[in-house]
Amino acid sequence: MRLQDKIALITGAAGDIGRTTAVRFAEEGAVVIVSDINAEGCAQTLKAVEGKGGKGSIIKADVTKEDDIINMFAGVQENYGRLDILANIAGGDFEPMITVDDISYEKMSYNIDVNLKSCILCCREAAKIMMEQRYGKIINMSSLVHRGSPMQFSYSAAKGGVFAFNRTMAMALGMYNINVNALAPALVEVSVIKDAVGSEMWEALSQDCAERYPLGRVAQPIDVANCALFLASDESSFITGQIIEISGGARL
């Protein structure tokens, strides 16, 4: 088992990528703390974890609220006494497919809160625990759109911020034996996108991407979860500050 008895906190664990990651970590022996704003989704994820013989618990938290984040890490500390792995997966594009004149202060702010500020604050709280124990693996969620993406203004900015912050945290925490890396997936087949665009548009979108990605398909949540597993394990112990593109070679 690659994560035997490790304590792992996963935010966004009710979503497709978060749930797949939670189950993958549990399969490798981790105790998984499932966190999301969506309590019902958390319960489903914990059920999936337990269905694989894994163990875990739920902490409901809204990562756009500093108090929720502080309480979440206090809960981890209180219940488990340590934290080995943090996967910051909560996020999404809450201002998608707009033109530049449609950028709204509220939606832009929310995108930055949920994708970037949440990452900074969760890393801060995790670092306090991990620095003490001189061990930790932090996995942040960026996106291939950190390089810029048409019609994704505030989301690409937020994910670009994750990219820069990830490197800075790696520089600060390396001396404490804490690895900080980020994932940058291209298009992943997830229900939130499929539901938002509808089946016809999804077919067109995923086919267009598949034609442009050298590996000829879009990503599945398991592709992202497997990369997160590698970064959470000691197999990646000399890798830090990296942003791993999970893109089928989309950008070579």
Ligand X SMILES: NC(=O)c1ccc[n+]([C@@H]2O[C@H](COP(=O)([O-])OP(=O)(O)OC[C@H]3O[C@@H](n4cnc5c(N)ncnc54)[C@H](O)[C@@H]3O)[C@@H](O)[C@H]2O)c1
Q: Is residue 87 within 8 Å of 10, Cβ to Cβ?
A: yes
Residues of this chain, 185-214, that bind ligand X according to CB under 6 A:
185, 187-188, 190, 192-193
Among 31, 58, 59, 91, binds ligand X (CB under 6 A): 91
Applying CB under 6 A, does 87 fall inside the site for ligand X? no
Based on the shown chain and the rule CB under 6 A, indicate whether residue 89 belongs to the binding site for ligand X. Answer: yes
Q: Does 123 participate in binding ligand X (rule CB under 6 A)?
A: no
245 sits near ligand X (criterion: CB under 6 A)? no
Residue closer to ligand X, measured from CB, 135 or 180: 180
- Provide, rounded to whole angstroms, the least separation between the CB of residue 17 and ligand X: 3
Q: At residue 197, what is the residue type?
A: V
Between the alpha carbon of residue 12 and those of residues 34, 49, 98, 172, 174, the distances in Å are: 8, 15, 24, 25, 26
Nearest distance, CB of residue 11 and ligand X, angstroms: 6
Closest CA to 30 of 55, 58, 52: 55
Say whether 141 sits in a helix, a strand or coil: strand
Q: What positions carry a catalytic annotation?
A: 155
182 lies in the site for ligand X, by CB under 6 A = no
**86 lies in the binding site for ligand X (CB under 6 A):** no
Nearer to ligand X, 36 or 84 (CB): 36
Rounded to an integer, what distance in angstroms lies between the CA atom of residue 16 and that of residue 36? Answer: 12
Could you list the residues that contact ligand X (CB under 6 A)?
Answer: 11-12, 14-18, 36-38, 41, 62-64, 89-92, 114, 141, 143, 185, 187-188, 190, 192-193
